[in-house]
Amino acid sequence: MSRATFFTILVCVCLSFAAICHAAEKSRLIANLESGKQQTLVTYGTSLTDGAPWVAELQSALERSYPGKAKVVNSGRGAMWSGWGVENLDQRVIEKKPDTVLIEFTINDAFLPYNTSVEQARKNIENMIGRILKANPNCDIILMVMNPPVGVHLEQRPKIKDYNQMYRDVARDRKLLLIDHYPNWEKILKDEPALFKKYVPDGIHPGAEGCKMVITPEILRAMSIKGGK
């Protein structure tokens, strides 16, 4: 075995071990709840958050496991993107004094009429992260990549994968938790297109069943909340 091959294998093993250890760690939210501390979690994003059933399901899961200890505030708004997120961050997020913030805006940053480049979208999410941490250095920030759009919604977002990858890159660079729903949805779309249509009837917004079966379980699993897969 060459020295280069040996070091390549060693790096892969170390990265795999680190990933396993990271996955086994409890989030700060769960650690605080288990110690009896009150926690506020703010969800911030587009119509995939505003009015989405998964937010109420997340609140219910937390209430079952930690009665009276966790409050979920839905600060999302339909048809908005990260530019709006930057402008409204103080009122809709920071003033709520969150302990944890879940953020998703890529679906509308990629929307052609909004004319937001990947570079500008990254500046916007970095702006939000920096201001949240300035207000509360102990706040957990979680980035979310949502479901793929299809049909006309994909036509209006031809580079959605670039925006999603940007979130993955930011999460990696800043060592933030990333909840990436895209692979789960992409597998359903590829293997069971009829089921995808049932779960996402309008081609972009998961309905109640889609949230219950796909989105909420992944959030609970990623955040180590009881009831997750």
The pLDDT of residue 200 is 98
Evaluate whether residue 162 is within a structural domain: yes
What pLDDT score was predicted for residue 27? 80
Residue 226: per-residue pLDDT:
83
CATH code of 186's domain: 3.40.50.1110
**Nearest to 214, CA basis, from 226, 224, 206:** 206
Asked, for residue 75, whether it belongs to a domain, the answer is yes
Number of domains in the chain: 1
HEC string of 10-40 equals: HHHHHHHHHHHHHHHCCCHHHHHHHCCCCEE
What's the predicted TM-score (pTM) here?
A: 0.88
| 2 falls within a domain | no
Report yes or no on 39 lying in a domain: yes
Confidence at residue 18, expressed as pLDDT on a 0 to 100 scale: 39
Which pairs with CB-CB distance under 8 Å and at least 24 residues apart come from 138-141?
138/28, 138/99, 139/98, 139/99, 139/100, 139/101, 140/27, 140/28, 140/29, 140/99, 140/100, 140/101, 140/177, 141/100, 141/101, 141/103, 141/174, 141/176
pLDDT at 82: 98
pLDDT at 25: 58
Q: Give the model's pLDDT for residue 210.
A: 98
The ranges of the chain with pLDDT < 50 are 4-24
Has residue 144 been placed in a domain?
A: yes
Domain membership of residue 86 as a residue range: 28-222
Position 24 scores a pLDDT of 42
- Tell me the pLDDT tens digit for each residue of 150-186: 999 999 999 999 999 999 999 999 999 999 999 999 9
- Conformational region of residue 203, where left means phi above 0, alpha means psi within -120 to 50, and beta covers everything else: left
Is 7 contained in some domain?
Answer: no
